[in-house]
Amino acid sequence: MATIFSKIINKEIPSDMVYQDDQVTAFRDIQPQAPVHILIVPNKEIPTVNDIKEEDKLLIGHMVLVAQKIAAEQGVAENGYRLLINCNKDGGQEVFHLHMHLFGGRPLGPMLMRQK
């Protein structure tokens, strides 16, 4: 199912794109939650982590390497950053086109809110 991310990948709607090749596209999140907040998205329409197939192994590895390169370009590699993929309802996924968040540029705190 095509989402708004396919339109961004195909440049049918504008985005603040920072990287694109034949496999992935990366652009700034429209509602940034950190000074650096970039989404790394496979050009192929994969809805969720649950839909990743064996044949996508190289693509997923490529997404991580692209994230690494962007983190260096954005100047957050040394201090550190967070890569995050949400999956389905409990994971907080809103857009059903697989994407990896890259957050950086400030201390990001604990990974999850602690339960009392």
- Please tell me which residue in 37, 62, 99, 101 is annotated as part of the active site: 99
Q: Is 62 a catalytic residue?
A: no
Decide: is 86 part of the binding site for ligand AMP (CB under 6 A): yes
Contact flags string 8-37 toward ligand AMP, x per CB under 6 A: -------x-----------x-xxx------
For the chain, how far is it from start to end, CA to CA, in angstroms?
A: 39
Contact flags string 49-78 toward ligand AMP, x per CB under 6 A: ------------------------------
CA distance 38 to 56: 21
Burial 76-113 (b: 16+ CB within 10 A, else e): beeeebeeebbeeeeeebeebbbbbbbbbeeeeeeeee
- For ligand AMP, the closer of residues 55 and 92 by Cβ is 92
| SS3 readout for 78-104 | CCCEEEECCCHHHHCCCCCCCCEEEEE
- For ligand AMP, the closer of residues 15 and 46 by Cβ is 15
- For ligand AMP, the closer of residues 48 and 55 by Cβ is 48
Residues near ligand AMP, by CB under 6 A? 4, 15, 27, 29-31, 39, 86, 92-95
